[in-house]
């Protein structure tokens, strides 16, 4: 972990440049629409989410954590702090069944939920992390990430014109063209 950043500004040890782009100039900046809402059973100001992230750091991703995150996928993904918990579950799922649960949760997103995530500063980062992880995971094969990527690319043009959506589509094209897809 970068010693120049506190646990609050980098809950999972992200690099300074990634923190700056994800969290803005201060660790308390948030997306205005999603931060005023509750993220499932967790308060939007972050106390419950900080506890969840602490639990992930100390014990890894257990079944309770995985359940909390998958049940609140969109709310957590579009929350400045909740997105760290989702990405931790994506990157640290201990078993193939757990990875499959996370992948199934992403696959089950309705189009309006997918549009909300792809347009959101934090949600778009979560989607990119999932697609990169799933595309590398031989257990999942290539169909699930490709299908989700295609669903994103088929979202309405008004959605895809948004800054974060453009970045996500660009990342998708880079991911799948690199391997000749």
CATH of domain 16-178: 1.25.10.10
Provide the Cα torsion 12, 108, 124, 139; round to 10°: 60
* pLDDT tens track, the chain, 181 positions: 333 333 333 344 433 333 333 333 233 333 333 333 445 456 656 788 888 888 888 888 999 899 989 999 999 999 999 999 999 999 888 888 888 899 899 999 999 999 999 999 999 999 999 998 887 775 556 677 889 999 999 999 999 999 999 999 999 998 877 554 4
Q: What is the pLDDT of residue 44?
A: 54
In this structure, the chain runs to a length of 181
Alpha-carbon radius of gyration of the chain: 15
Helix (H, G, I), strand (E, B) or coil at 39: strand
- 106 CB-near residues (< 8 Å, 6+ apart): 73, 127, 130, 134, 144, 148
Q: Is the dihedral of CA 48, 24, 148, 88 positive or negative?
A: negative
Q: What is the pLDDT of residue 141?
A: 60
CA 84 to each of CA 34, 51, 99, 157, 174: distance values in angstroms, whole numbers, following the listed order: 15, 12, 17, 28, 23
Which residues pair with residue 39 across a beta bridge? 42
Q: What is the pLDDT of residue 143?
A: 76
Rounded to an integer, what distance in angstroms lies between the CA atom of residue 51 and that of residue 29? 19
Which residues pair with residue 108 across a beta bridge? none
On whether the CB atoms of residues 118 and 165 are closer than 8 A, the answer is yes
Q: What is the residue extent of each domain of the chain?
A: 16-178
State if pTM tops 0.75: no
User: CA nearest 30: which of 65, 82, 74?
Assistant: 82
On whether the CB atoms of residues 125 and 166 are closer than 8 A, the answer is no
């Amino acid at each position: 972990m970068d010693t120049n950043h506190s646990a609050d500004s980098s809950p999972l040890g992200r690099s300074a440049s990634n923190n700056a782009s994800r969290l803005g100039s201060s660790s308390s900046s948030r997306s205005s629409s999603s931060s005023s809402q509750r993220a499932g059973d967790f308060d939007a100001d972050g106390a419950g989410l900080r506890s969840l992230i602490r639990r992930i750091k100390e014990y890894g991703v257990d079944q309770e954590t995985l359940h909390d995150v998958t049940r609140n996928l969109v709310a957590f993904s579009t929350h400045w702090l909740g997105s760290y918990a989702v990405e931790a579950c994506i990157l640290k799922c201990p078993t193939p069944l757990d990875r499959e649960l996370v992948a199934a949760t992403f696959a089950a997103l309705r189009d309006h939920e997918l549009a909300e995530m792809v347009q959101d500063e934090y949600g778009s980062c979560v989607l990119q992390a999932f697609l990169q992880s799933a595309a590398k995971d031989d257990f999942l094969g290539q169909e699930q990430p490709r299908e989700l990527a295609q669903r994103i690319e088929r979202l309405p043009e008004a959605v895809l014109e948004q800054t974060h959506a453009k970045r996500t589509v660009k990342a998708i094209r880079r991911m799948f063209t690199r391997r000749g897809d």
